Each structure stands twice: as structure tokens, then as C-alpha cells.
Amino acid sequence: MDKRVVITGIGVLASNGIGKDEFWKALKTGRSGVKPVTLFDTANLRSKLAGEITDFNSEAILGMKGLRNLDRSTKLALSASKLALDDAGIKQPLTEEDTDLFGVSLGSTLGSVWSISEFDKEGLRDGPRSVNPALFPNTVINSPASQISIRFNIQGFNSTISTGFCSAIDAIYYAMNMINLYEYKVVLTGGVEELCEQTYKGFHKIGHLAGSRPGKLEVNCPFDKRRNGILFGEGASIVILEELEHAKIRKAHVYAEVLGYGTSFDPDSKNIYSPKALGAAAAIKACLEDARLATGDIGYISASADSTLDCDAMETVAVKNVFGDRAKEIPASSIKSMVGETFSASGAMNLAGSIGVLEYNFIPPTINYEKPDRRCDLDYVPNEAREAKIDRILIDSFSPTGSNSCLAIGRYA
């Protein structure tokens, strides 16, 4: 029989709130973290907004030591991990007695783009002998996960999952498997993505950002008829997954239980969301089956919708295909309306928000919702949070490149 896996700690850094309490408060009040970009110059771009964490100070969370040569992604991941460990009541660094029972599973895809670009720029400009070797470790995608283990003395497994938009959800499932199949008791898992000039301008150039095409508004409005592209976001969300019996021994506070996972690759998606939503629907069905849940058991859907024309419509089709006549009864909101599209971190951001739903009995709104779209006709909790006691939540994560992953969590009982 599978071991029960629960969540006992949360660390989140988002553009609308640092720490779980500020993040949940922002979601409940519908506070957006989208603002003008300050990390680089956008004067020559049509798009100028992003979900940037402007008040991020890694030293305030981690202290002064050991941060000088780390990039932004790694500092975000380390800070979220510190907050999660503190929240779970786990002392750091780990003792030699405990360290082999812990692991790290992190989702990240674009996190090393800035470091690669800057490292190569220096080498090309001044020659390879001029580069700073201390900065080289930042250029590999597994650097943030590795630094988590180094800083907190975690000597169990260490993995980085890079499946684009689905990275965080897939990393969480990998963590669940490591607890279920082996002797690991605690895993730090989630996702991280940073805002940087290279990725922002790259997505701007291909017209994927809201307002990047002539005549389009720069607006972040999932499910709304005005939607025309993403607002880039950044952040890190780390949760402490723990084997239930181990959590009981520690007398840890249990936020939620992870019930199931489903994934499906859609080969019809070729850098565009498939309108038939076959892969997305298959992932939802697989998740419900793995969690041993019926369609009537889900009380809220934390949506993948990111204000792109096709993603939001595809998700609507997928929900209808799976839930049938009940689809319009289930609230399905997108917190990306408040934090932007955080790519590899998005599934973990949705998870952090969903834990707040269970803790404080509210459903986050989809803000900036003004003009209904006939292709998107579900209950999107427009503009204002809703009080509701939810017991089971479906978290969606869908990618234009074909990956589709879902996670189900529930109130611990």
C-alpha cells in the first residue's frame, strides 16, 4: 500500500507577497504583483510589465554568508527553501543522523538563461581566460537544487526536473515517488523561475507577451476576451513533502495531503495549445484515477490559464470533457492573473495558493475579468475572492509544447 504523503511546510516568494501569509493575503484580496519592470530597460519594447519581485532581499532571509556568486534563481530557491524548512519546524543545517532521509526535487527550465548569457558574453568579449570560474556553476540548470542541498546539508537524492510549464508539478510527483518507493522521509520540492532580460525579450520577440504585437493591450486577464498573451512572472515556491508517519512523530502541522497525479503528452501540440484538449483532459482523468476521486469530489480547480488565447480556451474544453454537466458548477480561477506566468514555478505557485484555500476557506479570484468570451464559459470567480470550505482541489499545469500535468490535494483527515 502506498505511503501517505503530506505537506508540512511552505516557502513562497511571489511578486505580490513574500512568505505564505503575505501571499495568501494578496490572493484573498485580489492584489496584483504586476508592475513596470525595473531589472532591465524596456524602453524599446512594447511590453513593459511583469510580475517582478521588487522587494526581494535574499540576505534578510538567508544571512550574509555564501551568496556573493549565486544568481537570482538560486537565491530565490534558497530563500523559499529556508522559509519552508522554518515553517515545518525543521532545524538547519540537518544533522548527520537525519540528512540521508531528506531529498530535493526542483522544477526549473529558464533559470540558467541569464547566467549562461552573461558568462558567455564575458568569454566572447574578453576571451575565455578572463571569465570568473566562480560564476560557471550558475550556468547549469541543476545549480539551484544543488545549492539547496549544499546549504542545508541534505545528502539524500538531488534532482532537477525540466519539463517547461509542467516542471514544478512533475518535480512534486518525483518527490512523492521517492518517498513511496524508498526510505526518504522528507523532500523539499517545488519550482523556481527568475525574471531576466534575455527570456523577457525572447518571448517579446516571438509575440508571446501581452502587448508585444502592434495594436494589442498589455493586459493580464485570463479567460477574458481581451487576452492576447502572458505577463511574465518570477518566483519560487517550495513545499515540504513528508511521509505521514514521520510527520506524526515530529508532531508537525499538516497543511494538506497529496492525493494523486496525472500526466499526458499531446503530440498535436506544436508550440500551440491543442484546441481539442485531448492531452489536458487525459492528464486530469489520470490524476483523478490516481487519487481515487470521482468528478464530484473536486471542489475547486486551480487553473493553468495564463491569459493566452488558446491556453484558457483549451483548459475550458478539457474541464468540460472530464466533468461534463458539473463543469460549470466547479469554481476554476487563475492566480496567474495576480502573479503572471511563472513558467516552471507556476504549478508550485498554484499549489501554495491552493494550500491557502484549505487553510483559510476562500477561493482566489481571477482578477481583471471584464469581457466574457463565449469559448470560456465556466465559473472563473471573477475579480473578488469567495468564501467557501473546499476539501479537494485539482491543480492544472498545461504547456503549448504538449506536456500536461495535474495534481490533486486534499484536506488532511
- Model confidence, pTM: 0.96
Q: Which domain holds residue 187?
A: 5-256
Secondary structure of residue 355 in the 3-state scheme: helix
Q: 270 pLDDT band (50/70/90 cuts)?
A: confident
CATH of the domain at 275: 3.40.47.10
Q: 1 pLDDT band (50/70/90 cuts)?
A: very low
Q: 224 and 274: one domain?
A: no
Do residues 370 and 359 make contact, with C-beta atoms less than 8 angstroms apart? no
Higher per-residue pLDDT: 139 or 283:
283
Which pLDDT tens digit goes with each residue over 303-357? 999 999 999 999 999 999 999 999 999 999 999 999 999 999 999 999 999 999 9
Q: 276 and 205: one domain?
A: no
* Look-up of cell digits 530557491: 77
Q: What angle do CA 138, 145, 352 make, to 5 degrees?
A: 120
Cell numbers of 340, please?
503572471
Secondary structure of residue 341 in the 3-state scheme: strand
Identify the domain boundary among 196, 227, 256: 256
Q: 245 and 318: one domain?
A: no
DSSP one-letter string for 15-36: TTEESHHHHHHHHHHT----EE
As a whole number of angstroms, the distance between CA 73 and CA 199 comes to 13
Pairing between strand 403-410 and 392-398?
antiparallel
Do residues 358 and 411 make contact, with C-beta atoms less than 8 angstroms apart? yes
Question: To which H or E segment does residue 410 belong?
Answer: strand 403-410
Burial 305-332, CB ≥16 within 10 A → b, else e:
bbbbeebbbbbbbbbbbbbeeebeebbb
Q: 47 and 20: one domain?
A: yes
Q: 89 and 164: one domain?
A: yes
pLDDT score recorded for residue 125: 78
pLDDT score recorded for residue 355: 98
Closest CA to 260 of 46, 119, 75, 405: 405
Q: Does residue 121 carry a pLDDT above 80?
A: no
Non-local (6+) Cβ contacts of 218 within 8 A are 46, 47, 48, 49, 209, 210, 211, 231
Do residues 195 and 189 make contact, with C-beta atoms less than 8 angstroms apart? no
Q: 269 and 208: one domain?
A: no
Cell numbers of 333, please?
480561477
As a whole number of angstroms, the distance between CA 57 and CA 411 comes to 33
As a whole number of angstroms, the distance between CA 392 and CA 330 comes to 11
Closest CA to 144 of 78, 198, 57: 78
* Look-up of cell digits 487553510: 359
The residue-averaged pLDDT of 251-258 equals: 98
Q: 324 and 234: one domain?
A: no
Higher per-residue pLDDT: 47 or 139:
47
Which pLDDT tens digit goes with each residue over 225-239? 999 999 999 999 999
Question: To which H or E segment does residue 371 belong?
Answer: none
Identify the domain boundary among 256, 272, 293: 256
Closest CA to 228 of 217, 214, 243: 217
Q: Does residue 195 carry a pLDDT above 50?
A: yes
DSSP one-letter string for 191-259: EEE---HHHHHHHHHTT-BTT-STT------TTBTT--SBPBB-EEEEEEEEEHHHHHHHTPPP-EEEE
Q: 202 and 323: one domain?
A: no
Closest CA to 300 of 394, 406, 397: 394
Q: 367 and 395: one domain?
A: yes
pLDDT score recorded for residue 395: 98
For 202, 259, 312, 322, 347, the CA distances from 298, given in Å and listed in that order, are 38, 12, 19, 12, 18
As a whole number of angstroms, the distance between CA 323 and CA 295 comes to 6
DSSP code for 373: B
Identify the domain boundary among 215, 232, 256: 256
pLDDT score recorded for residue 264: 97
Q: 195 and 321: one domain?
A: no
Do residues 175 and 139 make contact, with C-beta atoms less than 8 angstroms apart? no
Over pLDDT 70: what percentage of the chain? 100
Secondary structure of residue 104 in the 3-state scheme: strand
Burial 238-261, CB ≥16 within 10 A → b, else e:
bbbbbbbebbeeeebebbbbbbbb
Q: 223 and 298: one domain?
A: no
Angle between helices 72-88 and 113-126 (to 10 degrees): 150
* Look-up of cell digits 506536456: 403
- Single-letter code of the amino acid located at 346: S
How many structural domains is the chain composed of?
A: 2
Q: What angle do CA 375, 330, 413 make, to 5 degrees?
A: 150
